Each structure stands twice: as structure tokens, then as C-alpha cells.
Amino acid sequence: MECVGSILSSDKYELEKPLLVLEDKQQLTNYHGKGIDFFFAINNLDTRILTLFTESNDRNYAGCILVYDFKSFLSDEKIKEAIIWHEIGHLTYPAGKGNELDILSEIKCDMLAVKKAGMSGLEKLLHNIVSAGEKMNNSILINAANKRLEFLNNTTGKS
Ligand SMILES: [Zn+2]
């Protein structure tokens, strides 16, 4: 099996153990629902928003960031760093299980991402989630992304 991905240095990301980044289209398609890959492709949506944080089976790693397309994941440095720091946040603030979105956890992870990687990458990502939600007619997704954007703008606007 071909494995595409990278190992994130524990030093750079202030972790005890390194993190893994792996491309796994199959697992993300299973997780988000059959046909999501096709839907994203025909609507030209950003597959980076399908990224998922999972525990690693290998105890040598702090966890694993599953990305749909590794090349796309690398294509924008600011967005990439925002994703990584957001996912690192999930080590401390676990994501909701299944369809239950824990918005408070998401916002806490967003705040870490802003602190470490700046605002612009995360803002772009959240706008891409809104776009995907609109295409999918998914008001829950749109509302959650808008809440996160609102929080982002309020927090950073104050300083
Ligand atoms: Zn998250």
C-alpha cells in the first residue's frame, strides 16, 4: 500500500511526541459519507475541510491528522499551519463524536490556531466550510462555521 504523508516534529509543534499526517481518502470518505468525494469534486469544494484528527495506533505518535489529499494539504502554507494547530488543539479539546459537533471545542482549537498560525488561513478555511455547507444544503454546518467566524472576528477585533 502506498503511504503519503509526513511526520510533524514534536519540537516545532510543542508536543511530547511527533504527530503523523497521512493521506487516507478511503477512511475520510467512509467517515463523511459515501459519495462525498464525488460531491466535492463536481462542486470544486476544498477537500482540506474534510481533515480529521484521530488517535494513532502507534504509541510513538501523539496522534494522526488524516487528510484527503496530501498535495492540496501542502498547497497553502498558512492554511496548512492553521489546520495543524487546530488539530493539535483536539489533543486537549476532543472533537464531538459522530454528527455531534462540539462547537466549544472547535472554537478553543480555532483560538490555538490563531495564536500559533495567524488568522488568515483559518478564516479562509471557515469560509470554505460555509461554501461547502451551502452546496450541501446543510444549515448545521453553515451555522457552526458562521459561529466560529463570528468568534474569530470578535476575538481578534478586540486586540
Ligand atoms: Zn476541529
CA of 89 to the centre of ligand 1 (A): 8
Is the Cβ–Cβ distance between 95 and 53 less than 8 Å?
yes
pLDDT single digits (tens) 102-120: 899 999 999 999 999 999 9
Number of domain units in the chain: 1
pLDDT of 97: 72
Provide the sign of the torsion angle of the four alpha carbons 35, 38, 42, 46, taken in this order.
positive
pLDDT band with cut points at 50, 70 and 90 for residue 1: very low
Residue 98 burial (C-beta neighbours within 10 Å; 0-12, 13-18, 19+): exposed
CA of 157 to the centre of ligand 1 (A): 22
CA of 53 to the centre of ligand 1 (A): 8
Per DSSP, 17 falls in state: S
CA of 145 to the centre of ligand 1 (A): 11
CA of 144 to the centre of ligand 1 (A): 11
Residue 62 sits in which domain range? 5-158
Average pLDDT over residues 74-79: 97
CA of 87 to the centre of ligand 1 (A): 6
CA of 18 to the centre of ligand 1 (A): 19
pTM flag (> 0.85): yes
